[in-house]
Amino acid sequence: MLLRGRPRALGAAALLLLLLLLIGFFLFGGDPDCELGSEREARRGEGGGGDPGSVPGSPTPRVPSDGRLRPRGAAAFDGVPPADPGGHNRSDCVPPPPPPKCELLQVAIVCAGHNSSRDVVTLVKSLLFYRKNPLHLHLVTDAVARNILEMLFHTWMVPAVQISFYNADELKPQVSWIPNRHYSGLYGLMKLVLPTALPPDLARVIVLDTDVTFASDIAELWALFAHFSDKQAIGLVENQSDWYLGNLWRNHRPWPALGRGFNTGVILLRLDRLRQAGWEQMWKLTATRELLTLPATSLADQDIFNAVIKEHPWLVQPLPCIWNVQLSDHTLAERCYSEASDLKVIHWNSPKKLRVKNKHVESFRNLYLTFLEYDGNLLRRELFGCPCPPPPGAEQLQQALAQLEEQDSCFEFRQQQLTVHRVHITFLPHKPPPTQPHDVTLVAQLSMERLQMLEALCRHWPGPMSLALYLTDAEAQQFLRFVETSAVLSARQDVAYHVMYREGSLYPINQLRNVALAQALTPYVFLSDIDFLPAHSLYDYLRASIEQLELGGRRKAALVVPAFETLHYRFRFPSSKAELLALLDAGSLYTFRHHEWPQGHAPTDYARWREAQAPYRVRWVADYEPYVVVPRDCPRYDPRFVGFGWNKVAHIIELDAQEYELLVLPEAFTIHLPHAPSLDITRFRSNPTYRDCLRALKDEFHQDLSRHYGAAALKYLTALQLPRGPT
């Protein structure tokens, strides 16, 4: 039961609250119709009055008499003529209607190098997470970024996403004459040439820096094109620092700008209007004139965009600040919004990136980290009710998957064989050494639980390496931190790391090997495994052996590196063959898998190797699986073999079928280190169905050999009839 006087008291309180809200709304710059400049311009007429430094045609803001900041989405900061005088930064405005559901949204990004490519992936994840429209990404890249991103998007197979690449090197001459102090270098100027670089029939595009993170559907940003006047061609958010006011330090001379200027991390471009207005001549004339008195640009393209807008203010349509919340070193972004949840795009435009200071930075950082570690496989979803052509190869893949029988006891194996894994090649900066005619790259694959073996491998192998890692998105970031904090690993620029993202329950060992093999850049490769340490002298010895044996040309040879193992987690690694033989005789070392699977390496003929002074030839024998050095263009591994078993055996058969000589090197050796058994080998040992499926895969492999090599494959079929177990 309510007390008798409470209804009246509640009603009076509600009326008082409503009155306060209305007073606050009109005092602090609220605008009932929330018009953008182009709409009010039509009502006021061309050339209407405005504040000094304001954009012509923009509405005059309601500024409090004390000059203090408006509480939410304010257009300008304390006492400064606004570049956005119409209150366009208000986050409480009613948003324009979104574009049609299936309209193709155009997005342009400039990207160069390994680190920037990783940033693009995080940005694209945030775009894909919220988007409801098809996207066409226009990527202006250098050769490194194109190589990375072309492979990534090809294997990502995201529906309703088109990718076009543009060669940044071809655009460099258009901007190379501009001195630029910004860390982005020439690539930081390339947004200036997008109207001529992008296809001439492309009328509108959203341009994004690689260091932005979306917190909303990009279609809402695209919808702001509807508020452009007939002349406006560039949509920008006001710069959220005092940079262009020239008061950050003594003798600070920024480029000219309208009020606080604008930030170019997020741009809406009407390309058709810029072309009609003579944009190329416009920005070049402005830049040339300003460079007569200024030594260089400090903020790359942003300085030139602002100088042009200062001279031609009719070009710009100010955008709400929530579409580019800038976390620069001198950021005033906190004045843009009242709640972090209001924001649409976060711009990490400080060199400090995630370490920048802001009262909401923890919330922003969590959003960024969410997408950084988000499983990209989950973004392969179709757009509901929006028919789009499938990614290349998707239809064939779906047809092959549809033919699988889920009741098949080997369904897991067959599904894993057909899985297309996302692949991010050269995940970290990589500087390959100059090409040498006899150089060798060590090729291997690993997962997270073998990461601790990398440092020892780097100490033993001073030459180039190509390593494929099977990781989740979150594990990839852990790996990145592991390398950055390791003095050994961070010092090696000749090690290429390629991430294949985890999907499925079986380890795709041969697909990983093929990724690493395909990215090797030297003429020869040493096909190893991550749990082996090569002799300290092996790299130099292999190069000398390749030269002495005069490999190459028509002679096809696989150089066998004898494999040994220790059961001790700590032991003294032999520095020579003589020391290795002493450890072997003392029982501290064994020939590899001597106790479990001797036929895998017995054909190497270890007894002969003990006395050998020169390379000797051995013949292929069933189940032989040595570690070999071969030309880079050797046969690839058979991807049907996933998990444990027969993955190397099948490859050696393929080498033999293609008439590779097997030559054992007398001074070479590599040693296997002990570790906990993998999940796949545990399943093989404990699960009869697993072993049955492996036998089925072997039968299919031999059938394919017969079809490909005909009568020459008979010896492999005969060997299959012998009672042997897999390896």
Q: What is the pLDDT of residues 105-143, one digit of tens each?
A: 999 999 999 999 999 999 999 999 999 999 999 999 999
Give pLDDT, residue 409: 82
Give pLDDT, residue 228: 97
Query: pLDDT band at residue 220, thresholds of 50, 70 and 90?
Result: very high
Strands 212-214 vs 345-347: parallel, antiparallel or unpaired: antiparallel
User: Does residue 176 share a domain with residue 114?
Assistant: yes
Write down the residue that tokens 């850049």 correspond to: 521
Let me know if residue 66 belongs to a domain. no
Domain that holds residue 447: 423-720
Give pLDDT, residue 570: 83
Query: Which has the closest alpha carbon to 727: 654, 623, 634?
Result: 623
pLDDT of residue 90 exceeding 50: no
pLDDT of residue 349 exceeding 50: yes
Give pLDDT, residue 351: 66
Q: Where are the beta strands (DSSP E) in 142-189?
A: 161-167
Both tokens of 49, joined, read 């009055």
Give pLDDT, residue 649: 93
pLDDT of residue 35 exceeding 70: no
User: Does residue 336 share a domain with residue 193?
Assistant: yes
Q: What is the mean pLDDT of residues 607-632?
A: 96
User: Does residue 437 share a domain with residue 368?
Assistant: no
Give pLDDT, residue 38: 41
pLDDT in tens, 527-565: 999 999 999 999 999 999 999 998 877 789 999 999 999
Contact at 8 Å (CB) between 148 and 114?
yes
Q: What 3-state DSSP class applies to 604? A: helix
Q: Spell out a b/e string for 467-495, using b for 16 or more CB atoms within 10 Å of the CB, else e.
A: bbbbbbbebbbebbebbeeeeebeebebb
User: Does residue 658 share a domain with residue 563?
Assistant: yes
Let me know if residue 540 belongs to a domain. yes
Let me know if residue 139 belongs to a domain. yes
User: Does residue 318 share a domain with residue 439?
Assistant: no
User: Does residue 429 share a domain with residue 363?
Assistant: no
More confident residue, 1 or 368: 368
User: Does residue 452 share a domain with residue 306?
Assistant: no
Q: How many domains does the chain have?
A: 2
Give pLDDT, residue 370: 95
Mean residue pLDDT across the chain: 85
Length of the chain counted residue by residue: 727
pLDDT of residue 39 exceeding 60: no
pLDDT in tens, 293-338: 999 999 999 999 999 999 999 999 999 999 999 987 778 888 888 7
User: Does residue 324 share a domain with residue 442?
Assistant: no
More confident residue, 399 or 210: 210
Query: pLDDT band at residue 61, thresholds of 50, 70 and 90?
Result: very low
Other C-beta atoms lying within 10 Å of the C-beta of residue 708 = 11
Q: What is the mean pLDDT of residues 341-368?
A: 80
Q: What 3-state DSSP class applies to 204? A: strand
Give pLDDT, residue 621: 92
Query: Which has the closest alpha carbon to 137: 115, 119, 120?
Result: 120
Give pLDDT, residue 22: 47
Give pLDDT, residue 86: 39
Query: pLDDT band at residue 78, thresholds of 50, 70 and 90?
Result: very low
User: Does residue 507 share a domain with residue 363?
Assistant: no
User: Does residue 435 share a domain with residue 363?
Assistant: no
Let me know if residue 638 belongs to a domain. yes
Both tokens of 533, joined, read 């340490």
d(CA 446, CA 426): 15
Q: What is the mean pLDDT of residues 342-357?
A: 79
Query: pLDDT band at residue 353, thresholds of 50, 70 and 90?
Result: low
Let me know if residue 654 belongs to a domain. yes
- Residues 6 or more apart whose Cβ sits within 8 Å of residue 218: 105, 107, 127, 130, 131, 133, 135, 206
Give pLDDT, residue 722: 58
Give pLDDT, residue 84: 45
Let me know if residue 27 belongs to a domain. no
Query: Which has the closest alpha carbon to 371: 108, 153, 124?
Result: 124
Among 376, 410, 431, where does a domain finish?
A: 376
Both tokens of 382, joined, read 């179709």
Query: pLDDT band at residue 74, thresholds of 50, 70 and 90?
Result: very low
pLDDT in tens, 493-537: 999 999 999 999 899 999 999 999 999 999 999 999 999 999 999
Q: What is the mean pLDDT of residues 250-269?
A: 93
**618: domain CATH number?**
3.90.550.10
d(CA 182, CA 300): 6
Q: What is the mean pLDDT of residues 370-384?
A: 93
More confident residue, 241 or 207: 207
Give pLDDT, residue 678: 76
Query: Which has the closest alpha carbon to 652: 563, 534, 527?
Result: 527
User: Does residue 449 share a domain with residue 357?
Assistant: no
Among 341, 376, 411, where does a domain finish?
A: 376
User: Does residue 468 share a domain with residue 332?
Assistant: no
Give pLDDT, residue 88: 47
